[in-house]
């Protein structure tokens, strides 16, 4: 939904078709309250004449369609998990089903924009990171890449309920969720394999990742709190300088002098980053809006980089406050 909205408002994009099963035949603005998009949602999977498909589909659906789209010369930006793991066998273990087109996995570019900047202009199959990995990797990659910390990271993540999608379930039932905080997938969440894959590649060695997601009674936002153990001679100043420089080099990152609240990035494509130091442990916090930076906005950012548009074209950068 967020995706359609952003593309429709994008100055450099022409939204030609919206496909959908459940809402087929209805005007998009009748399905999503307050939407500005008056297109009728079409059934089926015919993407028509277009340059790019943004796919936000259940697991395996995009994977079984992607080859056809690519052969028709269409760039595929996939928001599902189908192409996030380069090794199909690893994917199959994490998701517990057979991958419909395992060969394609290796071709996909894992598109955390700040890290995939070099590869995106020529990428045709673009896999968008999950919401948790987006925040988690921005918190850990700089230090791991610079080898300032031990290859052993703990990430405690907190997410709003919209991450669960729009299908009604007890997990997203107001009376169960409100006035409560809880951890889940404590023994291992699917998103962990993405985080580990990228950190391993960054470090050039195996990185131990401990990742625990939590559900927080709010609609939007993810806060990742990463606990990193700096190597012996590393100082807080080095760490702060590293992250500050990282943020300064990218328009959708913001170094925050204090640990950021998710509200300070609400409805934006900004990831706000802070490094603090507690008795020798580096605590890195990253706040994002899970539906924008954690999904649709980041996909538009990747699209911009793919097609040589301004990186922030069509992207909201000012927070809704309060």
**Of residues 30-69, which lie at the interface with a copy of itself (CB under 8 A)?**
32-36
Min dist CB 72 to a copy of itself, Å, is: 31
* Residue 205 within binding range of a copy of itself, rule CB under 8 A: no
Per the listing, tokens 């990171």 go with: 129
Question: Which of positions 68-97 make contact with a copy of itself (CB under 8 A)?
Answer: none
Catalytic residue among 3, 105, 131, 252: 131
- By three-state DSSP, how is residue 161 classified? helix
Residue from 68, 219, 241, 249 binding a copy of itself (CB under 8 A): 219
Burial of 32 (0-12, 13-18, 19+ CB in 10 A): middle
Q: Which is closer to a copy of itself, CB of 219 or CB of 249? A: 219
Question: Which of positions 116-135 make contact with a copy of itself (CB under 8 A)?
Answer: none
Using the 8-state DSSP alphabet, how is residue 237 labeled? H
Residue from 65, 84, 191, 220 binding a copy of itself (CB under 8 A): 220
Q: Which is closer to a copy of itself, CB of 66 or CB of 265? A: 265
C-alpha radius of gyration, the chain, whole number: 19
Question: Which of positions 144-163 make contact with a copy of itself (CB under 8 A)?
Answer: 154, 156, 158, 160-162
Min dist CB 33 to a copy of itself, Å, is: 4
Min dist CB 195 to a copy of itself, Å, is: 12
* Residue 221 within binding range of a copy of itself, rule CB under 8 A: yes
Q: How many CB atoms are located within 10 Å of the residue 70 CB?
A: 16
Nearest alpha-carbon partner for 2 in 28, 41, 40: 28
Residue from 182, 206, 231, 235 binding a copy of itself (CB under 8 A): 182
Min dist CB 42 to a copy of itself, Å, is: 21
Half-sphere exposure of 280 (CA within 13 A, CB side): 4
Q: CA of 28: how far to CAs of 15, 37, 189, in Å?
A: 12, 6, 33
Q: Which is closer to a copy of itself, CB of 109 or CB of 157? A: 157
Q: Which is closer to a copy of itself, CB of 250 or CB of 263? A: 263
Residue from 53, 54, 216, 253 binding a copy of itself (CB under 8 A): 216
Q: Which is closer to a copy of itself, CB of 95 or CB of 277? A: 277
Concatenating the DSSP letter of every residue in 259-319 gives PPPGGGGTTSS-EEEEEEEETTEEEEEEEE-TTIIIIIHHHHHHHHHHTT--TTTT---S-
183-215 as b/e: b if 16+ CB within 10 A: eeeeeebbbbbbbbbbbebbbeeebebebbbbb
Residue 104 and residue 63: Cα distance in Å, rounded? 8
Q: Do the beta carbons of residue 285 and residue 259 sit within 8 Å?
A: yes
**252 given a catalytic annotation:** no
Q: Do the beta carbons of residue 266 and residue 220 sit within 8 Å?
A: yes
Build a one-symbol-per-residue string for 242-281: x at contacts with a copy of itself by CB under 8 A, - elsewhere. -----------------xxxxxxxxxx-x---x-xxxxxx
Q: How many CB atoms are located within 10 Å of the residue 114 CB?
A: 22
Q: How many residues bind a copy of itself (CB under 8 A)?
A: 77
* Residue 9 within binding range of a copy of itself, rule CB under 8 A: yes
Residue from 68, 184, 204, 231 binding a copy of itself (CB under 8 A): 184
The catalytic residues are 131
């Amino acid at each position: 939904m967020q995706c359609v909205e952003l593309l429709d408002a994008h100055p450099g994009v022409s939204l030609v078709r919206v496909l959908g099963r459940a809402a087929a035949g209805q005007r998009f603005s009748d399905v999503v309250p307050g939407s500005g998009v008056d297109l009728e949602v079409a059934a089926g999977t015919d993407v028509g004449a277009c340059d790019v498909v943004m796919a936000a589909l259940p697991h395996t659906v995009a994977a079984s369609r992607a080859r056809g789209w690519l052969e028709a010369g269409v760039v595929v930006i996939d928001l599902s998990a189908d192409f996030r793991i380069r090794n199909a066998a690893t994917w199959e273990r994490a998701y517990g089903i057979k991958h419909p087109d395992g060969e394609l996995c290796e071709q996909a570019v894992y598109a955390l924009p700040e890290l995939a900047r070099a590869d995106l202009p020529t990428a045709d199959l673009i896999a968008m990171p999950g919401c948790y990995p987006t925040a988690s990797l921005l918190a850990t990659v700089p230090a791991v890449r610079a080898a300032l910390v031990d290859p052993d990271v703990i990430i405690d993540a907190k997410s709003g309920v919209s991450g669960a999608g729009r299908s009604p379930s007890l997990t997203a039932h107001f009376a169960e969720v409100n006035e409560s905080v809880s951890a889940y997938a404590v023994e291992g969440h699917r998103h962990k394999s993405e985080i580990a894959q990228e950190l391993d590649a960054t470090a050039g060695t195996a990185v131990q990742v401990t990742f625990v997601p939590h559900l927080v009674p709010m609609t939007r936002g993810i806060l990742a709190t990463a606990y990193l153990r700096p190597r012996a001679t590393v100082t807080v100043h080095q760490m702060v300088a590293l992250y500050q420089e990282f943020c300064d080099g990218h328009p959708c990152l913001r170094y925050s002098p204090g640990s950021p609240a998710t509200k300070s990035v609400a409805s934006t494509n900004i990831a706000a980053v802070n490094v603090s130091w507690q008795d020798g442990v580096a605590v890195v916090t990253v706040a994002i809006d899970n539906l924008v930076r954690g999904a649709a906005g980041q996909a538009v950012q990747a699209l911009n980089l793919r097609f040589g548009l301004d990186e922030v074209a069509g992207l909201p950068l000012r927070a809704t406050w309060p």
